[in-house]
Amino acid sequence: MAFTENPADFINADTPGYVLASVGGVQVGGIFDDNYTDALGFAASFPALTCATADVAATAQGATVVVPTGNYTVAAVKPDGTGFSVLQLAEA
C-alpha cells in the first residue's frame, strides 16, 4: 500500500519557498530551492522545484521552467511515489 499525502497541505502560499512557476507553459505552485554548496573548493548550485506529481505528470526533460528568480530547463523529473515530484533544474 503506497503512502500518499495531499500535496496542497504542504505546497501552498504559506509554505516557505513557495513560488508560482511556469512549467512548460502551465502555471504550477511549488517549492523552489536553489541549494548552493562549496565543498572541497568546488562551488555548485542545485536548483529544484518540488510540486504535486499530478501537476507535472506530462513534464519531460528539457521543458522550460520560469520562476521569479530566473529561467531553467528540466534536467530530470523525479516522482517520489507519495504524490510529490522534484524537478531537477539547469539554468537555461
Give domain limits for the chain: 17-91
Instruction: Answer yes or no: are the C-beta atoms of 70 and 60 closer than 8 Å.
Output: no
Query: In Å, what is the CA distance from 42 to each residue of 29, 36, 37, 38, 67?
Result: 32, 10, 8, 5, 26
Query: In Å, what is the CA distance from 64 to each residue of 9, 25, 90?
Result: 26, 8, 10
pLDDT band, residue 72 (cuts 50/70/90): very high
Structure confidence at residue 37 (pLDDT): 75
Greater model confidence, 3 or 84: 84
- pLDDT (mean) for 61-77: 97
Q: pLDDT tens digits for 13-65?
A: 999 999 999 999 999 999 999 987 777 777 788 999 999 999 999 999 999 99
SS3 53: helix
Integer Cα distance of 31 and 49 in angstroms: 6
